[in-house]
Amino acid sequence: MRRFSSSPLSSQFENVGFIGLGNMGSRMASNLLKAGYKLTVHDVNHNVTKMFTNVGVPSKETPFEVAEASDVVITMLPSSNHVMDVYMGPNGLLDERSPLRPHLLIDSSTIDPQTSRKLSAKVASCTLKEKKDNWENPLMLDAPVSGGVLSAEAGTLTFMVGGSEDAYLAAKSLLLSMGKNAIFCGGAGNGSAAKICNNLAMAVSMLGVSEALSLGQSLGISASTLTKIFNSSTARCWSSDSYNPVPGVMEGVPSSRNYTGGFASKLMAKDLNLAVASAKEVGLKFPLMSQAQEIYAEICKDGHEIEDFSCVFRHHYSGKDEFN
């Protein structure tokens, strides 16, 4: 079994390409800069690349050009279609005009496991421009994240990683420059599968907490009081103690900012669609998943797609703000 160096700022990963500078990607890339990596960036929105070019970070016009300047490339994109386009489209990372310079490609997007596995096999079939540090062929990791925008900014994300364990060990210090945890999940696609399962549980949890808090309000119990009970009792969970959906109960969360600046409902709807598709592929039916999918589709249809997913408390359950 091959073993690769995993020391921080290893020469094999000194030059990092980053593609996708949205709410999450821009913050992840900034943390790589703080850690001392040499960065090259790309995004179709030139306005978001300016914050990097303004501090001396080179920007490239195509993914292929990013690959030509990088030892490792990280992608953080909205959907499977965007990932396929960046990898396989015209001037993509896997442009067949030349062998690959990057030894490792890391996709932190939330996409379906099948796409992750397809791309991993395609990457492994490519040839390297230069072999070094025992890397015989390029490899890919699917490494989606949990934690949201606040954790991306603070560098406290959790990475769920699928692919070669050797590649995971080699990339671990790079990932920990952007997060506090990097958990190996097994073979290609397993990181993507873990993220879908995590977000399914998160969606159902948020719905359950929102439903209970709304019921409590209707029965005459304030959300603050019920939250204290939850958080010192068996109902305690992330949705109650760290991301409470009731405006006025907790500071520093989207519900305290009119549901702005968090994890958009349209992204939760997308992730639930991925979960439903994956369940169908393996022939399983999950009623809570299906109900969550319907609720978030309704939230988006009603015009709340860019609001944080905790807005279900207000827009689906008609919950009331807490006034202290």
Res 161: pLDDT: 98
Which of 195, 228, 266, 280 is an active site residue? 195
- Please tell me the pTM assigned to this model: 0.90
Mean pLDDT to the nearest integer, 101-110:
96
Token digits of residue 208: 């359950």
Pairwise CA distance, residues 150 & 172, whole Å: 21
pLDDT at 1 over 60: no
Res 273: pLDDT: 96
Res 16: pLDDT: 97
Comparing CA positions, the residue from 288, 297, 306, 245 lying closest to residue 269 is 297
Res 2: pLDDT: 42
β partners of residue 16? 39, 72
pLDDT band at residue 98, thresholds of 50, 70 and 90?
confident
Residue 280: active-site member? no
pLDDT band at residue 324, thresholds of 50, 70 and 90?
low
pLDDT tens digits, 225-273: 999 999 999 999 999 999 999 999 999 999 999 999 889 999 999 999 9
pLDDT tens digits, 5-24: 444 434 468 899 999 999 99
Res 9: pLDDT: 39
Mean pLDDT to the nearest integer, 33-41:
96
Mean pLDDT to the nearest integer, 114-135:
89
pLDDT at 212 over 50: yes
What is the DSSP code (8-state) at residue 234?
Answer: T
Q: Which position has the token pair 């090259």?
A: 40
Comparing CA positions, the residue from 100, 9, 104, 86 lying closest to residue 42 is 86
